[in-house]
Structure 1
Amino acid sequence: MKLSFHGADRNVTGSCHLLHAQGKRVLIDCGMFQGSHELDEENAEDFGFDPKSIDLLLLTHAHLDHCGRIPLLVKRGFRGEIITTAATRELTRVVLLDAAHLQEEEAERNTRHAHRRGDAQAQPLYTTLDALNALEFFGRTAVYGQTLELAPGLSATFFDAGHILGSASIRIEQTASGAHRSVIFSGDLGNGGHAVLRDPQLPPRADSVVMETTYGDRLHKPIEPSIAELFAAISETLKRGGNVVIPTFALERAQEILFYLREGLEAGKLPRTLPVFLDSPMAISATEIFRHHPECYGNAIDALFRAGSDPFSLPGLRFTREAADSIALNRLVGGAVIMAGSGMATGGRVRHHLRHNLGRHESSVVFVGYAARGTLARLLIDGAKKVKLFGEEIPVHARLYTINGFSAHADQRELLAWQQALKPEQTILVHGDPDSMDVFAALLKNTRVQRPKQGDVIDL
């Protein structure tokens, strides 16, 4: 078994790893690089392998940085089988169609500017048709804990990673000439103890582990104080007469925040008439998909559904699918919670809401998830006094909150416990900033630690 690395190597986006085993070439994830415009160019570059040569693609989950380049892979010649869980298949459809639509819109805008400059017409990385074509290659459905044969002597088993709906860690086992080798790809591991999803499952041990290190250098705040901080941020902003803007990841984070807002209203910690706008077509669709997959729920959500109650519904909740409804929110002076994508504020409708609220002392922006380097979210969290949005310099006067207890990623303690329980001979660190990896690597004992660069090959 050999493994080569083609994304999320010493950074946190673009997950893409290629396993050579039993004469098969198996890709684990094919994600998009997210952040700066330089990464837009990296997305369009060669994969580092021939897409036509890939036999199988195993997808850990539906976040864009894990699935976002699948249409490009198909466009460039992939004709193999894509295997993932049922929930991930449904969510990936929503994510890829949304990504294609945004790329088409951006290409159209850039083309208008190019015409004025006399430059060539801008092209999207892939189109809606490309995304629809890619969905045709989804084949068998993985069920947690059930082993799938990939080839004679090569099998894969998916385990619940507890990160977003349908997310998985994948254990691959090879049996050749009486010898057994195994490797586990963590995918993104969830932060345990949350209400919406189950805690991550622990797979059987493996010889090698390829694991994420997003929060390898820090601990999360416990969830209960984080919920209290969210309620306090909202209450203080309402008293000032401003809006609360929450840049929201459409998958899992939006649903979790809705669940806790519902609890806050029922407990009298927030006004029952609080207007809450979910301004994200993708998050709205994802919330509907959640209702189809009880195999992924945590106990609290399962109990509510069984009792005939909707855990993601609250009296003042309004879905804004249409662009005109989203634009109308810009006229809100205060008193509302606006949840909109993207979570790192790299695109989507939240940028319009930030444009209209960042300059107001009355308003607040609440970050409830990871912000990669180079993103607008990270710039704001790091204390930028002004930012550029739609060509306009916007001063930052709004109150900013960073509440990391809602993170869908395991923290250092959880990552370490997961790795130690598996006792691998070799631990390969991916999907993390270099500083985070260095801190986490220093904690690992009785294992050979590797931190590959993009293009590296490791013998398993």
Structure 2
Amino acid sequence: MKISFHGADLGVTGSCHLVQCGGKQILIDCGLYQGGRELNEENREALGFDPADVDYLLLTHAHLDHCGRIPLLVNRGFRGEIITTSASRELAKLVMLDSAGLQEEEAERQARRHARHGHDKEKLIGPLYTVLDALNCLDYFGRTATYQKPIELDEGIRVTFSDAGHILGSASVLLELEENGEKKRVLFSGDLGYQGRAILRDPNPPSDVDVVVMETTYGDRLHKTLKPSIEELYEAINTTFAAGGNVIIPTFALERAQEILYYLREGVKDGSLPGSIQVFLDSPMAISATEIFRRHDECYDQEACDLFTNGQDPFNFPGLHFTRQTSESMALNRVGGGAVIMAGSGMCTGGRVRHHLKHHLWRKDSSIVFVGFAARGTLARLIVDGAKEIHMFGEHIPVRANIYTIGGFSAHADRDELLSWHRRTGSPARTFLVHGEQDAMESFAGQLSNTEVIMPGLHEEYPL
């Protein structure tokens, strides 16, 4: 029995871990590296294993940094079975198709730019994968996982998905392995949510595990508590409206968009926000994800379920507009003030939000509200860290807007929630820390006791 690490090692994106047992190879996630140009190039490099040898891919959830290299995996020879929850299956399809479409668009833009300047076409870099590649990989999604129901993968290999409370359908994955009379219970946290948040249930890990592989995104810090974070969001909106500006919220399409819609609805309902508020969800993927959310109330906590039971939609309210078409998005540039514009991507690495930033970063009366994690090397991180000027679309844009960073909405557990989750797994002999920046991992490692802590590097392999 062996485990090797092929992504999100001393870094936050690109989750990919490989377990070998009884002649079978089981991959847990195959995510895309996200961030600067260097990480984009890393996506094209060898995966560190032969995709054709992988028998199963267990997908913890549908965020791009966990599923985004699946089309590439299939392109390079994977012919095994992909297993995930019903909600993750739907969301992963949406995410991978969106990613492929954006890559094709970027490749076309580069081709036009090269043509204008007379550059050599041979130097053009095509998309990592195409929409057709993303569609083809859907053929390999097989059995559907249900929380707490074991699935027999092979002799001596069983997997159980448990609720991770991170996004719709997210799961921690327990592998029960047996080889040559030796048994191991290996738990992969996936990305973990925190307790008491809106819409989703709390994380529910299994206990008595031997080995834990866990994320450490916020392993070195505590989030703001939720109630003050909601109040800060309302205050940012009301203050900006009073100044005559607009509020731009860079939004992750999965979970964050739906959670913010939920709280905006609550704000209108209790009078914390004006009843006349105009909110534009300017993200085709977030709109589609919201529709998928409505189909999967099996993932909801009791409060959200009760809303549906009483005939109320937790993701809708007067003044909410879905802007699917590009022309509708462009028309928002003519809205001078009094609007909340939610657009992807959350880290501002692409998508429509960059155009809204172009039109609002220089405005002193507007506000940019960040409600999620911003990885190093991303435009969001530059702005959060206090950049005075941003370069995009060939222009230098001064940053004069009000910048808010509200941490309480994170879909990731903070340090104390991570420690609590780890304690509930029992007393694992070893804990591998992944999916975090190195300083966060090292800080979190210092908080753990009664377990051997390992922070693996890329492509490192360990016996189980």
Q: What one-letter code is carried by the residue in structure 2 that aligns with 1:239?
A: A
TM-superposition CA deviations, 1:228-278 (whole Å, max 9, x none): 000000000000000000000000000000000000001111111100000
Residues 59-458 of structure 1: pairs in structure 2 closer than 5 A: 59-115=59-115, 116=117, 117-120=119-122, 121-422=124-425, 423-458=427-462
1:379-425, Cα deviation, whole Å (9 max, x unpaired) = 00000000111111110000000000000000000101111221211
- 1:291 to partner: Cα distance: 1.0
- Provide TM-score, normalisation by structure 1: 0.99
Distance 1:300 1:252 in 2: 16
Q: Percent identity?
A: 63
Matched residue SS, 1:140? strand
The equivalent of 1:18 in structure 2 is: 18
Between the aligned partners of 1:285 and 1:233, the Cα distance in structure 2 is: 27
Provide the rounded CA distance (Å) in 1 between the counterparts of 2:302 and 2:343.
Answer: 27
The answer to whether the 8 Å contact 2:5/2:458 transfers is yes
Deviation at 1:175, TM superposition (A): 2.3
Distance (Å, rounded) in 2 between the aligned partners of 1:122 and 1:429: 34
Q: How far 1:224 moved relative to its partner?
A: 0.4
Task: Describe the SS at the equivalent of 1:159.
Answer: strand
Shift in Å, 1:180: 1.6
| 1:178, distance to aligned residue in structure 2 (A) | 3.8
- 1-structure distance, mates of 2:382, 2:463: 39
Quote the Cα distance in structure 1 between the aligned partners of 2:211 and 2:141.
Answer: 27
Residues 1:56 and 2:56 aligned together:
yes
Judge conservation of contact 2:280–2:321 (CA < 8 Å) in 1.
yes
Shift of 1:333: 1.1
Answer whether contact 1:114 1:122 (CA < 8 A) is retained: no
Name the SS of the counterpart of 1:230 in structure 2. Answer: helix
SS in 1 for 2:14: coil
Q: State the distance in 2 between where 1:88 and 1:170 align.
A: 13
- Helix, strand or coil: the match of 2:126? coil
Aligned positions, number: 460
CA–CA distance in structure 2, aligned partners of residues 65 and 150 of structure 1: 25
TM-score (normalised: structure 2): 0.98
- Range moving further from structure 2, 399-408 or 106-115: 106-115
Instruction: Give me the whole-angstrom Cα distance separating, in 2, the residues matched to 1:271 and 1:219.
Output: 31
Q: Secondary structure at the match of 1:136?
A: helix
* CA–CA separation in structure 2 for the residues paired with 1:273 and 1:310: 19
CA deviations on 1:34-86 (whole Å, 9 max, x unpaired) are 00011111011110111111111000000000000000110111100000000
Deviation of the 1:325 alpha carbon = 0.5
Q: Is the 8 A contact 1:195 1:299 kept in 2?
A: no
Deviations 1:200-233 (A, max 9, x none): 0121221000000000000011100000000000
| Cα contact 1:243–1:334 (8 A) shared by 2 | yes
Determine the C-alpha separation between the residues in 2 that align with 1:92 and 1:204.
28
Tell me how far 1:177 sits from its aligned partner.
4.1
Q: Distance in 2 between matches of 1:203 and 1:25?
A: 23
CA contact (8 A) 1:108 1:122 kept: no
Amino acid at match of 1:250: A
Deviations 1:1-44 (Å, cap 9, x if unpaired)? 21111100000000000110111010000000000011111011
Return the offset for 1:445: 0.4
| Further displaced range: 414-423 or 268-277 | 414-423
Report the AA paired with residue 95 of structure 1. Answer: V
1:71-124, Cα deviation, whole Å (9 max, x unpaired): 011011110000000000000010011000000000001111223222424311
The CA distance in 2 between the partners of 1:63 and 1:136, in whole Å, is 19
Consecutive unaligned residues of structure 2, counting only runs of 5 or more, are: none
- Matching residue of 1:38: 38
> Match of 1:330, SS?
helix
**Root-mean-square deviation over aligned CA pairs:** 0.8
Q: Which amino acid aligns with 2:228?
A: P
SS in 2 for 1:46: coil
